[in-house]
Amino acid sequence: MRFLADGIDFPDELLRAHDEGRTVFFCGAGVSRAKAGLPDFAQLTEEVLDHLGAPPDNKARLFHTASGKIETDYGIKGLTTSDRVFGQLRRDFTDDLIGEAVANSLRPIEPVDFSAHRTVLKLATLQTGELRLITTNFDFLFEQAGGRRLKYATRSNLPHVEFNGSVPGLGVNST
């Protein structure tokens, strides 16, 4: 079924599953990049390195720069992840300084356009009102867009989800 003339043709099976509460929506940073102008992980890493004043010979900056060059030159992505760069940064800078730099980079463009976040929230909300959304976003734009506090989990406290089990509305933070 198409909801817009030029829109996606959603399979009937997916629409039925959603109506029956059998869907979970997964959302990455793209929703915050699209309308709120927030950085992706690579851009966030670059901004944090700059904010901290990491010199060109800093290992974290070298990891990030080398990875970007290999990606650009050869099209190979993910050789050095942002978490590896941040792990290296923790050897040279305090968590407070890194946290301040991250918070500075995650300030959305004002006025914030919440339309993409509201659309995802609407799609991920069942007829019962239960939210079925898992995201790796570090910003709070889903909360601001929806006007309610979401539950958060980290790798150490993710809920156990069984086949056909219920998944409460959840924003997953990968820290």
Helix (H) or strand (E) holding 25: strand 25-27
Give the pLDDT confidence of 64-100 residue by residue, as tens digits: 998 889 888 998 887 777 888 999 999 999 999 999 9
- Position 111 scores a pLDDT of 92
Q: What angle is formed at CA 119 by the lines to CA 138 and CA 104, rounded to 5 degrees?
A: 25
This prediction's pTM: 0.70
Q: Where are the domains of the chain?
A: 12-37+113-172, 41-105
How far apart, in whole angstroms, are the C-alpha atoms of residue 116 and residue 138?
Answer: 16
How far apart, in whole angstroms, are the C-alpha atoms of residue 161 and residue 168?
Answer: 10
**Which residues on adjacent β-strands are paired with residue 2?**
9
Radius of gyration for the chain, computed over Cα atoms and rounded to the nearest angstrom: 19
